[in-house]
C-alpha cells in the first residue's frame, strides 16, 4: 500500500488587493446575481467568465419547479460563451452569491458538475482557467479548475 496526497493552493485576497482586471470580473459576477431566477433556494449566484480575447460572458442560476432542471450560474455563463465564441478559450471565472440581500461572507464555491464542465474547456483549449471565488470582503484565487477537481476525469482515458 502506498499513500499519496494532493495539495491544493489557493490565495486569499482582500478585494482591494486584486489586480484591476480581476476586481472588475468579480464586480461583474456580483452584478450578475441580480439576474438570478431562484425562487426556490433564494440563493442568487452570479458568474463572469472572461475569454482570451477580453470578452466577458455573465450568467446566473436559473431554477425550475422541477428542481433538477435548473442550471447553475457558472454553466449558464460558460455555455453562453461556448455557443457564441467556440474558438476562444476562457481564461478566468469569477463567482459571487447573495442571500437575504447580502453577499455571502464566505466565498461561494462551484458544484462538482460546474467544475467538471469547466475542466472540459481546460482540456479542449489546453489553457488553465483562473478561478476567483468571491465573498463579501475577500476572494479566493485558484490557478485552474482542474486544481479544484483532483483526480479528475478529463477524457484522456477515452483516447485508447
108 lies in the binding site for ligand THU (CB under 6 A): yes
Query: From the CB of 160, what's the least distance to ligand THU, in Å?
Result: 33
Helical H segments across 91-130, by residue range: 112-125
Active site residue 74: yes
State which of residues 72, 118, 141, 147 lies at the interface with ligand THU (CB under 6 A): 72
Strands 43-51 and 90-99, bridge-based pairing: antiparallel
Cα gap 58→81, rounded to integer Å: 9
Q: Select which of 74, 122, 157, 159 is catalytic.
A: 74
DSSP, collapsed to helix, strand or coil, labels residue 139 as strand
Nearer to ligand THU, 17 or 150 (CB): 150
Scored b (16 or more CB within 10 A) or e, 78-104 reads beebbeeeeeebbbbbbbbbbeeeebb
8 lies in the binding site for ligand THU (CB under 6 A): no
Q: Which stretch, 21-29, 65-73, 83-91, 147-155, contacts ligand THU (CB under 6 A)?
A: 65-73
Active site residues: 74
Chain residues that interact with ligand THU, rule: CB under 6 A: 38, 41, 43, 45, 61, 63, 70, 72-74, 95, 108, 110-111, 114
Amino acid at each position: 500500500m502506498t499513500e499519496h496526497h494532493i495539495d491544493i493552493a489557493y490565495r486569499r485576497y482582500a478585494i482591494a488587493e486584486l489586480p484591476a482586471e480581476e476586481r472588475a470580473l468579480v464586480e461583474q459576477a456580483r452584478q450578475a446575481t441580480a439576474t438570478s431566477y431562484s425562487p426556490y433556494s433564494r440563493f442568487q449566484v452570479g458568474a463572469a467568465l472572461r475569454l482570451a480575447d477580453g470578452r466577458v460572458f455573465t450568467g446566473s442560476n436559473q431554477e425550475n419547479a422541477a428542481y433538477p432542471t435548473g442550471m447553475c450560474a457558472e454553466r449558464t455563463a460558460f455555455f453562453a460563451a461556448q455557443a457564441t465564441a467556440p474558438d476562444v478559450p476562457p481564461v478566468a471565472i469569477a463567482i459571487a452569491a447573495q442571500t437575504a440581500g447580502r453577499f455571502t461572507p464566505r466565498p461561494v464555491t462551484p458544484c462538482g458538475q460546474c467544475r467538471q464542465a469547466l475542466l472540459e474547456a481546460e482540456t479542449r483549449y489546453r489553457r488553465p482557467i483562473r478561478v476567483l471565488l468571491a465573498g463579501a470582503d475577500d476572494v479566493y484565487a485558484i490557478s485552474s479548475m482542474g486544481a479544484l477537481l483532483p483526480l479528475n476525469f478529463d477524457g484522456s482515458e477515452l483516447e485508447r
